[in-house]
Structure formats: structure tokens, C-alpha cells
């Protein structure tokens, strides 16, 4: 019998949902001309992080779950890059960027820790 992960009970999933909500809040203040640009990109990346964790939790093997976690980690780095660009072009202020950067880093650490845990205890 395979080990089951209820994604709603995973702290990394919960924290990544919080991150996505924060991204929606921050990007709501971006210029309207960015609606289909960086705003859309950042929102998609942020939503992909918890979505891939949830999807991976339903997989039948550790290898499959790890792949989904790797995708989530990649999306977090994509989001971080988009935040850097938003700050550098002046549509995100330094304090908003720092807040977002801290939350992204925490999610990245949590995903990496979860990957190590699953690697050590495959199912």
C-alpha cells in the first residue's frame, strides 16, 4: 500500500498557498497595462507552486511526487525572477519586493526539505 499525502495537511502546501495569495495582493497594485504581462506571469507561477504539490501528493510513487516537487521548486525560482524584474523596472517597491523575496525563500527551503525527507523515506 502506498503512503498517502493529504496535500491540505502539508505545511509546504499551506505556505505556498499563502504565497500565491500574497502575489495576487501585490500584483493588484501593478499598472493595468501589465495585466497580461508580468502580473499574469507572476500569478501563474505562484499558483503553480501549490498546485504541483497537490498534484504530486496523488502520485503513486516517490519518484513521481519528487518530480512534482521539483516542478514546484522551479516555479518558485521563476516567480523570484519575475519579482526581481518587477522591482528593477519600477513596478514593485523595495519593501514589497523584500517581503515577497522572504516568503519565496521560505517556500523554497520548505520544498527542498520535503524533497530530502521523501528521498530519505521513499514509498
Give the DSSP per-residue string, the chain: ------GGG-HHHHHHHHHHHHHHHHHTTS-GGGTTTHHHHHHHHHHHHHHHHHHHHT-SSHHHHHHHHHHHHHHHHHHHHHHHHHHHTTSS-HHHHHHHHHHHHHHHHHHHHHHHHHHHS--
Q: For residue 83, what pLDDT band results from cuts at 50, 70 and 90?
A: very high
Mean pLDDT along residues 64-92? 97
| pLDDT higher than 50, residue 1 | no
Stated pTM of the model: 0.93
> Hey, what domains does the chain have and what are their CATH numbers?
16-120 (1.20.1440.60)
Lowest mean pLDDT among 10-19, 37-46, 112-121: 112-121
| pLDDT higher than 70, residue 123 | no
Rounded to the nearest integer, the mean pLDDT of the chain is: 94
Name which residue leads in pLDDT, 26 or 5.
Answer: 26
The pLDDT value recorded for residue 4 is 60
The pLDDT value recorded for residue 2 is 47
Amino acid at each position: 500500500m502506498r503512503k498517502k499525502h493529504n496535500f491540505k495537511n502539508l505545511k509546504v502546501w499551506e505556505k505556498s498557498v499563502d504565497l500565491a495569495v500574497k502575489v495576487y495582493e501585490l500584483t493588484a497594485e501593478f499598472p493595468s497595462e501589465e495585466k497580461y504581462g508580468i502580473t499574469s506571469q507572476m500569478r501563474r507561477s505562484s499558483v503553480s507552486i501549490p498546485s504541483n504539490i497537490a498534484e504530486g501528493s496523488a502520485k503513486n510513487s516517490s519518484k513521481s511526487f519528487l518530480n512534482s516537487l521539483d516542478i514546484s521548486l522551479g516555479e518558485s525560482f521563476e516567480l523570484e525572477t519575475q519579482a526581481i524584474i518587477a522591482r528593477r523596472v519600477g513596478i514593485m517597491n523595495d519593501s514589497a519586493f523584500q517581503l515577497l523575496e522572504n516568503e519565496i525563500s521560505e517556500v523554497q527551503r520548505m520544498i527542498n526539505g520535503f524533497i530530502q525527507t521523501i528521498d530519505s523515506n521513499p514509498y
